[in-house]
């Protein structure tokens, strides 16, 4: 896939040129806090496929697996563009809502559904997992 995206203020941008590995929605508490909603939808791409520009900051904290997740966001407006869960090797998890055109994104699974909230239940037309299934 080839795609572009940006943060809320537009200071930070990125370009993707490479294969999309998977797309999914995460309902964990961390994604609820990051997004301010009940879930976060993202696409996974190889690290080499994404190039970011602008002034970025990275927040690192352990994820559900206990290993670190780097979340990279605009230093000005705070929009997270992508994350790098170390447990997934080189894979970057791009926030679907930051894509210039997200119309082709089709989440193939919903993860951490055990933490979902009643006001934003997981879609029933995709496989749902209570925690994180083993994927790269
Ligand atoms: Zn920004
Ligand atoms: Zn999550």
Ligand 2 centroid from CA 115, angstroms: 9
Ligand 1 centroid from CA 76, angstroms: 5
CA distance 41 to 94: 9
C-beta of residue 128 within 8 angstroms of C-beta of residue 110? yes
Total of domains in the chain: 1
* Residue-wise pLDDT tens digits, 72-104: 999 999 999 999 999 999 999 999 999 999 999
Task: For residue 110, tell me if it sits in a domain.
Answer: yes
Task: For residue 136, tell me if it sits in a domain.
Answer: no
pLDDT of residue 111: 95
* Residue-wise pLDDT tens digits, 36-79: 999 999 999 999 999 999 999 999 999 877 899 999 999 999 99
Task: For residue 130, tell me if it sits in a domain.
Answer: no
Give the residue numbers spanning the domain of 25: 2-115
Mean pLDDT of the chain: 95
Task: For residue 124, tell me if it sits in a domain.
Answer: no
Taking the mean position of all CA atoms in its chain, how far away is CA 105? 12
Ligand 2 centroid from CA 3, angstroms: 23
Task: For residue 92, tell me if it sits in a domain.
Answer: yes
Ligand 2 centroid from CA 112, angstroms: 7
Closest ligand by atom to 76 CA: 1
- 109-134 burial, b if ≥16 CB within 10 A, otherwise e? bbbbbebbeeeeebeeeeebbeebee
Closest ligand by atom to 57 CA: 1
Task: For residue 36, tell me if it sits in a domain.
Answer: yes
Q: What is the CATH number of the domain that holds 90?
A: 2.170.150.70
pLDDT of residue 37: 97
pTM for this predicted structure: 0.94
CA distance 28 to 32: 6
Task: For residue 120, tell me if it sits in a domain.
Answer: no
- Token pair for residue 112? 């951490």
Task: For residue 128, tell me if it sits in a domain.
Answer: no
User: How big is the chain, counted in residues?
Assistant: 136
C-beta of residue 14 within 8 angstroms of C-beta of residue 53? yes
């Amino acid at each position: 896939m080839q795609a572009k995206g940006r943060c809320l203020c537009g200071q930070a941008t990125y370009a993707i040129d490479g294969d999309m590995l998977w797309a999914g929605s995460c309902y964990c508490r961390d994604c609820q806090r990051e997004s301010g909603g009940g879930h976060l939808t993202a696409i996974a791409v190889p690290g080499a496929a994404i190039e970011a520009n602008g002034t970025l900051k990275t927040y690192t904290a352990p994820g559900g697996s206990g290993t670190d997740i780097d979340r990279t966001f605009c230093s000005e407006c705070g929009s997270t563009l992508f994350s790098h869960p170390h447990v997934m090797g080189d894979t970057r998890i791009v926030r679907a809502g930051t894509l210039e055109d997200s119309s082709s994104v089709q989440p193939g699974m919903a993860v951490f559904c055990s933490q979902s909230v009643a006001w934003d239940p997981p879609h029933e037309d995709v496989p749902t997992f209570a925690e994180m299934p083993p994927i790269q």
